[in-house]
């Protein structure tokens, strides 16, 4: 059965995304922080529950990364538009996501079967992106927070680029192996 607690948590994360953006645009940063924190916790919790109760599903395998990308892309774009984070960071995050989605679409259109399992660098990228948003939404008047934020911006950018390059490498290998198999037929 596809409808289970982890999938419900993922759907809740998707539904929280517009609320998060609305709070940002209305300068209600404490509410935005609360909603984003709930969404971030639901991201960790859905995976934990899926593993603990062995409730993996095909629906969850598709919905979870969509929910993450929707929430994070919305956060980075909104915060960049509001000039709270640098625009270049939002461009890097969005470019990686567009690259991944384009790759998946190419494989689907060419009937090349793929199984994407997030790599360690991809998991760390997601953690860094979530931390970047959380830290950005915390009160900016905390002493020393600006240095920490900028350090995290650069770490997030580096991990996002490394993860994007890893997915390009993975995709090119899949394409090359698929092409080689078709040539032998």
Which pLDDT score, from 0 to 100, does residue 184 have? 64
Closest CA to 119 of 69, 159, 79: 159
CATH number at residue 114: 1.20.120.1760
DSSP H helices, 26-144, are 29-52, 58-81, 87-109, 120-137
pTM of the complete model: 0.89
Give per-residue pLDDT as tens, 111-122.
888 877 788 999
What is the tens place of the pLDDT at every residue in 118-135? 889 999 999 999 999 999
Give the DSSP letter of residue 138.
Answer: S
When pLDDT is averaged across residues 69-74 and rounded to a whole number, the result is 95
| Domains contained in the chain, number | 1
The residue range of the domain holding 9 is: 5-184
């Amino acid at each position: 059965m596809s409808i289970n607690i982890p999938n419900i948590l993922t759907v809740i994360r998707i539904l929280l995304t517009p609320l998060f953006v609305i709070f940002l645009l209305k300068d209600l940063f404490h509410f935005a922080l609360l909603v984003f924190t709930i969404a971030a916790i639901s991201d960790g919790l859905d995976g934990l529950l899926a593993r603990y109760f062995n409730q993996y599903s095909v629906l969850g395998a598709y919905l979870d990364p969509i929910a993450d990308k929707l929430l994070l892309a919305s956060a980075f774009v909104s915060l960049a538009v509001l000039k709270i984070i640098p625009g270049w960071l939002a461009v890097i995050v969005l470019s990686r996501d567009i690259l991944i989605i384009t790759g998946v679409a190419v494989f689907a259109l060419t009937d090349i079967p793929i199984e994407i399992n997030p790599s360690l660098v991809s998991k760390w990228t997601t953690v860094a992106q979530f931390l970047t948003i959380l830290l950005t939404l915390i009160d900016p008047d905390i002493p020393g927070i600006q240095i920490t934020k900028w350090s995290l911006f650069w770490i997030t950018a580096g991990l996002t680029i490394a993860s994007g390059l890893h997915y390009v490498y993975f995709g090119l290998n899949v394409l090359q192996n698929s092409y080689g198999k078709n040539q032998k037929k």
